[in-house]
Each structure stands twice: as structure tokens, then as C-alpha cells.
Structure 1
């Protein structure tokens, strides 16, 4: 539990929605401290926030202080940030053109290194040898001469014996190679080998399966994971660690919960919360206005007894909504792979 959760909310704030609280916070931060945040917003977000500030009216100092302390304590409770290829690509897509993003992502998905030769020296020798054995021996000799000696030796040992001997002889007789030829080889390596290597390494299949399991209803998910554990316990454990579950919603910041509430189907949300643990139910109700929370409680009560399967399905739909909002950059999700880490 964060320190903010222990703060008593002033009565003046209870009627304020999430967007109104954001407007008040930005007004309190002022021009100097708020500028870096404004720069990250798109035009629609700037208009919405500006309209919120313009219509804010008077807000007592005690309410402003509460917002600032809550914001500060929630940010300080984040132990780390979690970056990934997918979150990097989403971030760049909002800044750069599609072609540029594609070029950058293909480059960074590949092996590390500032130059092409640094990158090649970090490619598995068997993978590199499999590609080089289809090239001319003269081209291979130029490439290996640019690699670190120990890595070149490992690659040579992976090549067919006769082919490797031919390459070694050419390396022994090698004259200085024209810059144009080296540049052409580099370009070919980038466009053919590195691009395909990056695509082949694009995604951990466990991440894909975690998304598949997230989309299953609770009973099917548990049945299939239990069956997988019996034949491949390691993979089942990795998938469980990567999954984002309904219970993980309980770790979200108040602003993220408020956005989910705003976008959720109200009947589906009532059904999901009816079967939810008390702390998650109160978290969602606390992100609503008093009137909306009262109506939701009445809806849950009016439902009477409901099947557990219906609640599970509604909770799965709420998780899918949360992940969809996170993919669009509208909310921040806690990453289940790391305690308290955050995805942007």
C-alpha cells in the first residue's frame, strides 16, 4: 500500500473527477514544473486538460496539497521502470514516422554494438556461419577480418572444412579492401542478414502464449496451465509470470483505474466487481464520483445471485480493456514480471 492510500481525502475533492483532478494538479505545478508534462501530451489531451483548468473554479489549498502529496507518494512508490521492445516501439510511434520507427526497431532488436562489425561479433557463431556459408569465400574473408579474432575463430570452426580453408587462404593473401566494397558488404549485411535476424528474434513465444491465456476464461486458463505444468513446468511458470490478471488491476494507480471506469461497459463492470475481492471493488468504487459509485452498488445488489463463470468472463473483459488502453498509451500498467515496476 502506498503512503497516498493512507491520506484522508478532503471533502472538497470528493466531487472532482479524474480529469478535473489532473487539471488541478497541472495548475498547481505551474508553467516551469508542468512544461515537461505538457510536451508529452497530444493536441486532444492538451485541449481536454486546458478546458478542465478553465472550468475548475476555486479549489482550497488543502485540496491542492492533498493532490500534490498523493502524486508525489505514488510516484515515489515506483521501485523501477520496465522497458521492452514493444513499449519502446509504442513510444517511438508517437514521435517518428512509420518507416523510421521500423528501421530503428530492426536495428535495436538485433545484436548490440555501435558498428556493423561490433554487432556481428555478438551474433552466435553457428547462426552467422549458417549465413556466411552461402556467400563467396572472398566476401567471407573480408567479413571475418573485421571481427574480433576469437569470434572469427569460432565462426571458422562452424564452416565446412574445405570452405573454411579457402577463406583462410584468402585472408592470408588479402590486400587492403576499398572503402566502397566494405560499405557495400555492410549494407548487404544490414538489409539481408541483420533485418531477418531481428525479425526472427522479435518476440518471446511465452509472451504470445501469456496473451492467449489472458483471453481464456478462468477455468480454461487454469486447466490448461495445470496440464502444461505436468509436461513443461518451466514454460508454465514463465507464462504465469508474464500474464496480467484481474488481481493485477489492484496494483494500478488511481488515475489508471479511473480511465478504465470511464471506458468500461457499466453492466460488465458491475458483474466483474460483484465477484471481485473487496479491496479491488473498493478501489474501483473510489475512482468514481459518489453518485456513480452509489448507482454501481445498486446495480450489483439488483443482480442477485450470478454464476461465477459470468463474473470470470466479465473480469477477463475488464483485463482486456486495461491492456487495450495501455497499448494506446492511455493508462500505465504494473508489469507482473517485476514487483512494482512500471510499463510506459
Structure 2
């Protein structure tokens, strides 16, 4: 920190000491800004400044303006541009957001954006997929990753881990100490690998195309095609099946998601889709809509399917399924309960 003897000469009226001048400038800055600057003084300097502030005389505005100008000149001609740049950056980081500092300094923006987005990108993944990846890692690594994830997503990932390991991992997370930058970088590199796997899975053109084709078919046709595919490659079936959602799969959708799905689907589409549907599916859908809408749809369904083109029913059901897929891709609903997925995979 600067020596008080360098802080300039005397002003009119009662002369101010160098410590008086430092105290005056700090007081003029206000408590918030001055408080952030105090850490740049030594303990001895602070004691002198505090003593000066207690006996400081009233300073007229014009005299204070000269003091500030004198301080600015001294700061500019201080220990060197590089040291001053580091000090300025530290001061800016105390009072501004990282984005604002980046804008002023024009540095490190890309790296900081990378740092802040890595965990956001991870939380867009399927918790089950992340859990399968983490189970191969050391418990301390898992604990660190869970501590960095948003709480809601981290809880879902934790439930995907084996029961026998959860207590140990939670204990490590609770007692997590500061991680060294080197260790953190190693773990984050592993997370980057995981994100790469997730992106590769999401962007698998072949898998997505097959799933899209099957989503245009009826359930019996899809079951036949999946059986044929499984005879060649069970791994391929495991990649395609999670991306398939048909009207009949509404049975496996969580009730809360069903309510959100049918909240914006027109009543005539719902009515058409339910014509000829099994009672189990009909009840699952009707239980997710308002009592008034349910009465109207049930009244329309009483006429049965006589005179209705089967193709119109298929189109309506496909519209419902496609809307469900759209909302799921947007993260607004879940297509299937976890237990239902497991039972389907076992079937």
C-alpha cells in the first residue's frame, strides 16, 4: 500500500496530515465503497486513519475536490500499471457482477461463461443416465459433483445411486471441504466427458429417426418392430425405447404431467382420441381434466365410434402423443414413471 508521506502537500486553513487526507477521501466515498478498500491498508495504516477520522475537521467541498484529484494523481503514478490493474480488478470484483467486470476489462468472459454453464448443461440430462455414469466414480468425486448441481436435479441423481452408497455419499457431501483448483479441474474434465456422452446420445441421428418413425405408428406395430430389432441388437432397443411415446403410454405418465398435458389440448381432440380407447386409458385421461370438461367429453363419447373415421382417431391420438413429447423435451413434464420404465424394459 502507498506511504502516507507521498500523499501530497498542505491545503489552506488548518493543514491536513497525510492520514487526515486518506481518512477524508475514504469518508467521502461512503461506507460501502470505503469498506471494500480498507483491506488494501496495513493494520498500522488503519489505526492511524481511524484516529485521524475521529478528530477530522469539517472539509469544504472545494477542498475535498482537490483532495480527490490529488489522490487520483497519486494512484495513477503509483507502483506500476500492472500492479494497479490487478488492484483495480480486485476492487471491481468486490462491487460488480462477473459479467460487469468482464464487460469493463474485456477478459476471461469466455472462460467464466464456460465455468458457469457446465453444471447447467449437465442438469438437462436424464438423472438415470447421470447416475449410471457417477456410480463408476469415487464417492468423493460423486459428492463434489452433487454439491455443484442444482438441488432439485442433484436429489434426482442421488436417488439413482445404489442404496448401499447413498449414506456415505451424503455424508461426504455434508462434510465437503474446499476442493483444490487442480482436483476441481480433474473432476470437471470428467463432467465434460459425461456431457459429451449425453450430447452424443441426444444427437444420435439414427436413434432419433427410428423413434420418430415408430411414434407415427400404432402400438401393435411398434411392439412388432421392437421385437424384430431386439432379435438383432438389444442395445439398439434400449436406445430407441426411451424416445418412443405413444398414446397408450399415457397410462405410465405421472398424474401431474397428465394434468399439464391436457390443460392446453382442445376438447374435440381429446374426445376424438378417446373414442374406442380402453377404459383404463379413458379414465387416466378424464381424471386429468376439469369436472366440467369431463362431463362434456363423456357426453360426446356416449355416441361411440359409429360413423367416425378410424384415421381421424389415429390422427388425434398422434397429436396428443406429439404434444406430450414436445412438453417433455422442454422439460415441463415427465413421459413415464421410473417404475413403469423398468417394467417395460423387463417385459
Return the TM-score normalized by structure 2.
0.38
Return the TM-score normalized by structure 1.
0.39
Higher RCO, 1 vs 2 (CA within 8 Å, ≥6 residues apart): 1
The structure with the larger Rg is 2
